[in-house]
Amino acid sequence: MAEAPFAYAAVVLVIALIAGLIPVFSKIKQNPERLKMITSIAAGIIIASAVLVIIPEGYALATQEDSHAEDEALAGSIALILLEVGDGDITEEEAIEEIEELLGGHDEHEDHEEESHDEHGHEEEGEESLSDSVMEIIEEYEEGAIDSASALNEIQTAISGIGHEHEEDDGHGGALLIGGALLAGFLLMLILEGSGIGHAVHEEHHDHSDEHGHGHVHHSAPGWMLVLGLTLHSATDGIAIGAAAATGSAALTATILLAILIHKAPVAFSLGIFSMHERETRNETIRDVVIFALSTPVMMILAFYALTGLETHTIGLAMLFSAGTFLYIATVDTLPDIHNPETGKKAMIYLLVGVAILVVLLVVGDLMGIGHAH
């Protein structure tokens, strides 16, 4: 069993806590204009995170073919060899030799499988590829456990279910599911708000931005909407990292972890800003940041132990769902000043600055070889 990602969880927790608590213990709150500026910049970071990181990552996972295409191609080639046996063109022994050559032989096959697991560590634990199954049958034949006829019959059985199984899986990453997952996340936040659990933050900011902290009306609903949305996304990050770690692929785990960390810190900082703007006491803001910071590490460990066999397209759809909540938060709840004619232009500029900040971080990450490629 792969090693549990406790070290990764600790790194994510510390970074999120530090970034989220920086605005809480600074003097930002005492300067309303600076608060408006940083709020707009943070909104830009959130939008860029959703569009440039979460959605591409989710789409890549949701449309990933895994080993299906490889298995189908191999099954077709083996079927042609078996057809030659049936026509009497080659003997059973020759057919087994051809199939073994098709797989690359023992040594080459083992090397290929090791590389495949390193590059695609997201394959379900316990799910054996067709090449593995066929090679095991050939090994039994070479050890004398079964004769050539039995070996070919078992190989025929192994390839016969490939087409049917993959037909059932076809379309799992279709446009409707991908778009539906994104829409579901957005609609969840909209429904929660429409049900009275929360309401648009922009309705409050204009009236209270200059007097925040002066005993204004209670704003727990929109504050919890923000925490809920960001925590849902953060928890999904944990599922993705935990599932990758459970495969034992250090390369895959590190890639996903670094991609998430690139936007984790600025998003945690943004949460600290927005929560501070909505909450009446510092303790409430700290509670929000702690909940957000814990969500990824906790889900990371839970996913490692309980969700090892989670299919890649399911993880992708979950990430797209979280991206929908992100987009709602950024466009509806965190852009109050855009709607104000007096502050709209300045807020728009700050928003673009936030987008630019994340773009620079992502470009630097790509140049350092820590982009999003799996």
Average pLDDT over residues 237-251: 68
Whether 373 has a pLDDT exceeding 50, the answer reads: no
Average pLDDT, the chain: 73
**How far apart (Å, rounded) are the C-alpha atoms in residues 27 and 138?**
71
Residue 11 CB contacts under 8 Å (≥ 6 apart), including other chains? 257, 261
Whether 121 has a pLDDT exceeding 50, the answer reads: no
**How far apart (Å, rounded) are the C-alpha atoms in residues 36 and 340?**
12
Whether 168 has a pLDDT exceeding 70, the answer reads: no
| 116 or 340: which leads in pLDDT | 340
What pLDDT, on a 0 to 100 scale, did the predictor assign at position 180?
92
What pLDDT, on a 0 to 100 scale, did the predictor assign at position 65?
58
What pLDDT, on a 0 to 100 scale, did the predictor assign at position 214?
38
Listed range (50-59, 209-218, 241-250) with the worst mean pLDDT: 209-218
Whether 184 has a pLDDT exceeding 60, the answer reads: yes
Tens-place pLDDT, residues 282-340? 888 888 889 888 988 988 888 788 756 657 777 778 778 877 877 876 777 556 667 77
Tens-place pLDDT, residues 61-101? 777 755 466 677 788 888 898 898 888 889 988 888 888 88
Q: Which long-range contacts (CB under 8 A, 24 or more apart) does 336-344 make?
A: 336/39, 336/201, 336/202, 336/203, 336/204, 336/205, 336/206, 336/209, 337/36, 337/39, 337/40, 337/202, 337/205, 337/206, 338/40, 338/202, 339/202, 339/206, 340/206, 343/36
Percent of the chain with pLDDT over 70: 64
Average pLDDT over residues 234-248: 70
**How far apart (Å, rounded) are the C-alpha atoms in residues 253 and 259?**
10
181 near 320, Cβ under 8 Å?
yes
Q: How confident is the model at residue 354 (pLDDT cuts 50, 70, 90)?
A: confident
Q: How confident is the model at residue 183 (pLDDT cuts 50, 70, 90)?
A: very high
| 344 or 143: which leads in pLDDT | 143
